[in-house]
Structures are given as C-alpha cells and as structure tokens.
Chains A and B, each alone.
Chain A
Amino acid sequence: MSKINTLEDLNKAAKRGLESIIPPKTKVMVGMATSGIASGAQEVYDALAEEVKKRKLDIILSKTGAMGMDCIEPLVDVLQPNKPRLAYSKVTAKKVPEIVDQIVKGAVNGSKPTYRMDEEDFICLNEKKPYFKGSLPKDLDGIPKISDVNFYKKQLKLATRNCGMIDFESIDEYIAKGGYFSLHKALTKMKPDEIIDEIIASGLRGRGGGGFPAGIKWQTCRRAHGDIKYVICNGDEGDPGAYMDRSVMEGDPHSVIEGMIIGAYAIGSSQGFIYVRNEYPLAVRNLQRALDQAREYGLLGKNILNTGFDFDLRIGKGAGAFVCGESTALMTSLEGKAGEPRAKYIHTVEHGLWDRPSNLNNVETWANVPAIISRGAKWFSSIGCKNNSGTKVFCLVGKINNIGMVEVPMGIPLKEIIYEIGGGIPGGKKYKAVQTGGPSGGCLPDKLIDISVDFDSLWNAGSMMGSGGMIVMDETTCMVDIARYFIDFLEFESCGKCTPCREGVHRMNEILRDICDGRGKEGDVELLESMSQGIVDGALCALGSTAANPVLSTLKYFRDEYVAHVRDKKCPAGVCKALIRFSISDEKCTGCGVCLKKCPSECISGEKKKTHVIDQTKCIKCGVCKESCKFDAIIVE
C-alpha cells in the first residue's frame, strides 16, 4: 500500500472502501466481536465459508463488530446489490444453508430477517447512502426497518458509529465512512489551539466516568511545561457488566487511533499509548492491526499526511487489575511497575507518565473526537442536554429483556432506556433498581425512573455515570446482597496501598457478609455508614474513595431491607439463604412432581397429584424448585 499524502490519496482509499462497504455483488457480514463469538458466531462464520465454497458462490464474507443488540446474536447481515441490508438474528450453523438458499434465490422465504436497513449512515460525512433505489421488494413486507425496532429507535450512534457496520479489518472501509478526513482537516486546516477550542466548545466531557471537560484537559496539557508529552487511551475497562470500550476497540479501532492523533497534534505530543487489558485479546489484535495499517498509510509515524507532524502509538497491555483503570495507577503500570495509584494533588496533565505531562482520555472520548472535528462543535453540542453534550454508550445488562450495548443522547430519561430500548423486565417481574457507574457507582431505585441520564443528575442522585455499565435489578434482587457483591469485588480488586480501602473495604465486606448470613447486629448499619464516610474521605484514589458507594446508595434508598436483615432476620427479596425458607403451598401445588425430580438434594417428597413437602433439614435453598414450578406453588419466606 502506498502512503497517503494528499486529500486525493485519501479520496482514493475512500473510494476503495465504499466499493467494499456497498459492493456490486453479494456481501455477507457476521458480527464477530466478542459478544458475537461468545454466542457462536465463529461456527456460523465457518459454516458460511464452507457453504459458499461448496456451492462455488461469488460472495464476499466479512467480519464486523458488534451492532449492540447482544441478546439476538449471532447476527448475520446480508447485503445484495440494490436491495436493503437484511439482518438475521440468533443464527446457528444449522440455519446457514437456508440463509444461503435465500441469498441464491435473492428472496426472503422461510426464516425471516429480524430487521432491515434501507440506507447506511455516514455520520462523519453527514450523508446517508441508500442501499437500493425504487420501492421495497414485496418479499420484505413486514420486516421492520432498524429505526422501527424498539431497541434502536431512540439510539444515536456517534462513538459506536461504525461498530457492526464496517469490516473491522479494513482501514479503507473506515476511511470511506469519513475516517481520517478529520485528521486531514485538523493537520492541514487547523492550528492546535483551534482544535482545542473546538473540543472545548463541543462540551465533550470525559466518558471514563469523571466527566471532566476533555478540551480543558487538553489545553492544560498543551500549556504544561515539558518537551515530551504523552497522550494515553484508557482501555482498561473493568467494571462488571461493562464492555462498551471493548466493543469500540474491536469493532472500530481506527476511530480511537484517529482521535488520539488529532489530540496529540493539538496537545503537542509525539508519543502515545493505548492501555488495554490483556483479557480483551480481540481488542488487542484489532488495535494492533489497525496501528500497522495506519503506519503503512503514513497516518502514524514520521511526517503524517506529509505535514511534518510526527506521532506514533503503542499498545500497553494490562494484566487485568481493576485499579489500573484509575489514571495514575494506569500510568504506573505503563511505566512497568505494579499498578498502584498515586495522589493527584499535582495533576497528571502536568506530571503524569514518567513524570511528564500526560493527557489521558478513555476509548469512548477519543472515538468521539473525529466526529466532532468533521461535523463541528455546534453540531455536537446540539445533541444531548445542558452541560452534557453528545451521547453516552451504555451496556444494559442484568434483569432486562434486551441485553446489549446502547448509545443514547445524554439527558434521555432512564425510563426510556429501561422500558423502550431495554424492553422492560423479563417474566413480568417488577423493576427494582439499576446500578450505574459500576462497582463505584450506586443503585437508583424505582422512584428515580424518570431521572435524566447525564453526568450531573446521576451524581446528584448518589450514583455516577462511570464508564457506562447499567445493571438492571428486579424484585428478586436483594439490595444488601448486591452491596455485598460489589464490596466483595472491590475488596478483591483493592491494590492495598492505602489503609481505608485495603482494610476498610475488607471489614465492610465482613459486616455485610454477617448481615446476609443472619448474624447482623444492632448498630451494624450505623457502623457501615460511619465507615463509608471515613473511606470516602480517607482513601487515596478514586477507586477507594468511591468504594463505599454501593453501600451508601443502597442504604440511602433501601434502608428497610438492611433493617429487615439485621432486626427481623429476613431477606425480603428471598435471596440470602440463611434468612429464607422454602415451602410448598397446599393450595397451589398440583402434585405434578416436577420439583421432586429437579431437586438436587432430594429433599422433596410426595405422591402424584398430592401436595408435596420439602424436608427443611435437607433443603440447600438453591431455588431450583421455585424456578421449575409452573404453578407458582413454592413459597419463599
């Protein structure tokens, strides 16, 4: 590949890329991000390759990242010339021949696609290209447009704009989507200060959780003294249930790289690092490939785009410590030492990596930058709400129907995310709370369902945006148990440097365990409260000082559950084993015998068609009987 030196070269690459995005022949795309592979996409991909070879078909088979709706993966998209793009969901290797039949016939019969796309959005170029002209083919009647699917209806994809849309192995496809044009614009038409002003004006706030204005950070770093400055990408996503950064690094690695090059030019840096946890092997692979491609095209390295600007990027692999997502610990880890945080009284933008000015932003923040540079600050700040411009990517997991990654304009009511995008709570159960901001965040109760999802509102409610995990809980979730779960996670992940986090979180975990096991004592709740305050005030880093949040927020909104555990020795949600008892309702039991067969400890007895009985001495309280009973006859007290 020859180097890209001019706008003309860039246009040539874009043309090549467009021919591969909307090719003149059939293209089949398989969602091959980690979420896809976990649900069997590799087998589907292999089966497709085999089928295409067997039938000697002239079909392009490509790999894309995650579209977001993980609960319907593996996802296979079929794009035939002058036809809408069709998405087949929950595809198995067995279903592949039938899909290939449909491709050969060029008509849908049998298995129907879940949705269709009529056009492709080129956000950075501000244009939409239709996949077909004329009217919709008859056989596609009744197949909804993606924009009519509840999960996607209210979404707006900026940071994840290319995820699931382009082949993550192709730099040309990225360029065709408007990629690296922003870099060209920045390097040839804008001065560093103008770029910084643009980012400030856009109102972009750090998506890693803190929400600090990115442009101000860049400006401080640019003004900091020092010949050598670093830009760093934090890809050490470690919150349980959060995987948006992984999805961007896997599905659209160039967006992060381009954002970083623009940032480096604005700040005056010639060296950058992408810190990724090694448990994200696909992200590491895709980023490495993308870096090699960018270097080959002359978009990284010496004399980028023939402008005289030099900048290069390297990947630093993390060993999976949660604390390394904290900026100073991340930098210590990059320096080759054990990842421990240090005090930030002097900011890392002045004294960071190897004591030099360092600008760290997270994956999502960097991925937003090219879009802002191409479309302008005014456009970006028109999205979202006051002081919270743009979108935020969330991972919607837990007790929710549509599990997946969503990107929504900031300020969207939580209700719309849970009930419209997420499709509500499965099994007709009652919504109880949502945990935002990961282990350091908090639980928002039912009464806050209308809260505006933005940095400030979440913070004021005692939770936080965090990196964007959203764990939904229903009535069968015990809030004390949840607090214990997160505290347990944080105890395990505490680096051990400072006393309040190392010892304090450990002691809180002991107290919470006692409460859940029925050994709670009067005064435990008050002790937890006073310890929480001490840890918030006393811990060294952000991980420690937010470690008490799961307890503080559950205490704030669900204090009665703590009291029930401690005083009445009862777990209202029926979760904490030491405090519950399973029995069978005389009225509802039909004597079908299903629970008797399923019980792993053989503690249920009873004759057919007669009420069954649980032997309390043998019951291990696993809940299998309750799950298997169709008549709701199992009582949990």
Chain B
Amino acid sequence: MVSFIIDGKKVEAEEGATVLQVARKYGVMIPTLCCHESVAPSGACRLCVVEVKKGKRTRIVTSCLYPVDEGIVVETKSDRVLNVRRLVMQLLMARCPESDVLKDMAKEMGIEPQPAFHPDTDKGKCVLCRLCVKACEDVVGASAIGLSGRGKNKKVGPPFVEDSKTCIGCGACAYICPTEHILMESTDSKRKIWGRTFKMQACDKCGRYFAPVDQLKFISDKTGTPMTELAVCMSCK
C-alpha cells in the first residue's frame, strides 16, 4: 500500500493503481473520454490530466496512466489542469460540433466553445479516443477496425476503408463509443454497421432475433461450441 494526497485529502491505494482509479474510489471527479474499464488506458484524450508533485518536481500527467507513488501530492483542479481541460474540450467541440455528449460535458465543466476555432464539418462525432479499436482488438478479438492516417486526418475504420471482411457485427465498438459516433442500424432480421449488413440469428426456441450469425460463427470457431448450441438466445438457455 502507498499513501499520498489528492486535493488535500490523504488517501491509500494498492501499488500499481493509477491516480484515476484511486480518485474515483475516493469520489474525486475527473472527466475522461478515452478511459473504459474493459480496455487498457491509452492517454489519448488528455481530459483526465492532473498536477502531480513528486519530490521537487511538479508536472501535469494523465491520471489514467500515472501510477500512484508514496508521498505524491495530486491536484485535480489547479489552474494549469483546468487550462488543459478547457483547451481539450474546446478543441474537441470544434472538431465535433454536433456532439451532444461533448456539449453536455462542457456545460458541466463551465466551458464555452472557442469562437476562434472554425468548426470542422467532416469528422462526425469521433474524438479519436480509440476505445472502439481497442475493444474490437482486445475484448472481441476480431481486429476488424483500426486507425489509419495521422494528425487531424487520422481516422477509425476497417482497413482501406473497404467493407470489413473480419467484422462480425457484434456492435461492441458502437456500444463503447463515448460520443455515439459509430452508427449501428438494427431491424429484426438485419443489422448494419461499418457499411456491411449482417444477418441476425433467430432463436431456435423463441424465434427472437438476438445476435448476428457472423458473431455466433466467430464464437463457435473460437470456442469449438457447435452452432446448434449457440442458436438459442440467452433468455431461452
């Protein structure tokens, strides 16, 4: 165990924990966009920055990645921290002017859009948090989507922006996306995502469409469970 200070409060934590984890445990609110408990943190959005004093050195770090250490002093709302958060929010709002999630977050944080930034029109609601890519690769194991390009033209999508051959239509990416950028259209028998239409499996017992056939095939291939067993929905199992 190590003990240290967050916003003047003495806290204790397991070694190896991140500042963000400990802050949340103690009810200290730190905003984030790219952090999710299902995947490893990447430190991409930079909203969760805090000021850490370690010995004589004070610096701004990302709390989602910074490991706790004995005796450090963490400030989550210093002027420097708030200046970074304001800039990040204003930049993201200019990138994704249509995102209500960002607007609500900004409102809560008391941040107005920066009028000097001309809003983008081609980025949708994607803040490039990369949660979708990580979920698809690390949680689902399909690696159907990735990042291409660099700088402000970096993009999430299937390779070569073609219809993905490896996407199983599970929708984990749409589920984890913090800004509702990834669109998944579902009707009873069909689901549309990343430009492909997936056939849904009807439950052998109740007849309800419950999962894409490709997803069940993917699970069957991975686990060796026969498709007949997988063709029953969770409620009927």
Contact = CB atoms under 8 A, between A and B. Distances in A.
Contacts of A343: 43, 61-62, 65-66
A491 interface: yes
A491 B152 contact: yes
A511 interface: yes
A497 B42 contact: yes
B159 interface: no
B84 interface: yes
B169 to A, nearest CB: 26
Given A496-B151, A507-B117, A538 B84 contact: yes
Nearest to A537: B60
A500 B43 contact: no
Contacts of B153: 496
A495 B43 CA distance: 14
Interface stretch (A12-20, A222-230, A307-315, A524-532): A524-532
Contacts of A539: 46
A556 B88 CA distance: 24
Interface string B3-29: 000000000000000000000000000
A524 B116 contact: yes
Nearest to B66: A345
Contacts of A511: 116
A511 B120 CA distance: 15
Contacts of B43: 342-343, 498, 540
Contact of A346 (B67, B83, B127): B67
Nearest to B123: A503
A498 B153 CA distance: 13
Nearest to B147: A338
A512 to B, nearest CB: 12
A462 interface: no
B92 interface: yes
B151 A534 contact: no
Interface in B60-94: 60-62, 65-67, 80, 83-84, 86-88, 91-92, 94
A537 B80 contact: yes
B84 A321 contact: no
B152 to A, nearest CB: 5
Nearest to A345: B66
Contact of A500 (B67, B87, B94, B118): B87
Nearest to B149: A496
Interface in A532-578: 533-535, 537-540
Contacts of A502: 128, 151-152, 154
A35 to B, nearest CB: 29
A631 interface: no
B84 A495 contact: no
Contacts of A493: 150-151
Contacts of B117: 507, 510
A354 interface: no
Interface residues of A, number: 37
Chain B: number of interface residues, binned into ranges: 35 or more
Contact of B46 (A491, A492, A498, A527): A498
B49 interface: yes
Contact of A496 (B47, B80, B154): B154
Contacts of A506: 151-152
Given A346-B67, A511-B116, A539-B46, A499 B61 contact: no
A540 B46 CA distance: 8
B3 to A, nearest CB: 19
Contacts of A497: 42, 44, 128, 154
Given A496-B128, A498-B46, A504 B65 contact: no
A102 B32 CA distance: 75
Contact of A503 (B86, B91, B118): B91
A523 B87 CA distance: 16
Nearest to B88: A499
B125 interface: no
A531 B65 CA distance: 23
A504 B128 contact: no
Contacts of B127: 499
B45 interface: yes
Contact of B116 (A338, A496, A527): A527
B80 to A, nearest CB: 6
A499 B44 contact: yes
Q: Which of B49, B86, B92, B152 has the most CB of A within 10 A?
A: B152
B95 interface: yes
Interface string B101-119: 0000000000000101110
Contact of B152 (A496, A527, A534, A537): A496
B42 to A, nearest CB: 7
Nearest to A538: B84
A494 interface: yes
Nearest to A523: B116
Interface string A476-510: 00000000000000011111111110111011001
Contacts of B66: 343, 345
A533 B83 contact: yes
Given A507-B91, A524-B116, A538-B46, A495 B83 contact: no
A533 B42 CA distance: 22
B22 to A, nearest CB: 15
B118 A538 contact: no
A537 B67 contact: no
A338 B154 CA distance: 12
A530 B42 CA distance: 25
Given A499-B46, A527-B116, 20 more contacts: A343-B43, A345-B67, A491-B152, A492-B151, A494-B150, A495-B151, A497-B44, A498-B45, A498-B46, A499-B45, A499-B47, A500-B46, A503-B91, A504-B87, A527-B114, A530-B87, A531-B87, A534-B84, A538-B49, A540-B46
Interface of B: 42-47, 49, 60-62, 65-67, 80, 83-84, 86-88, 91-92, 94-95, 114, 116-118, 127-128, 147, 149-154
11 contacts: A343-B43, A491-B152, A495-B154, A496-B128, A498-B46, A502-B151, A503-B94, A504-B87, A506-B151, A510-B118, A530-B87
| 9 residue pairs, one from A and one from B, having the closest CB atoms | A534-B87, A496-B154, A503-B91, A538-B84, A537-B60, A494-B151, A343-B65, A496-B151, A506-B152
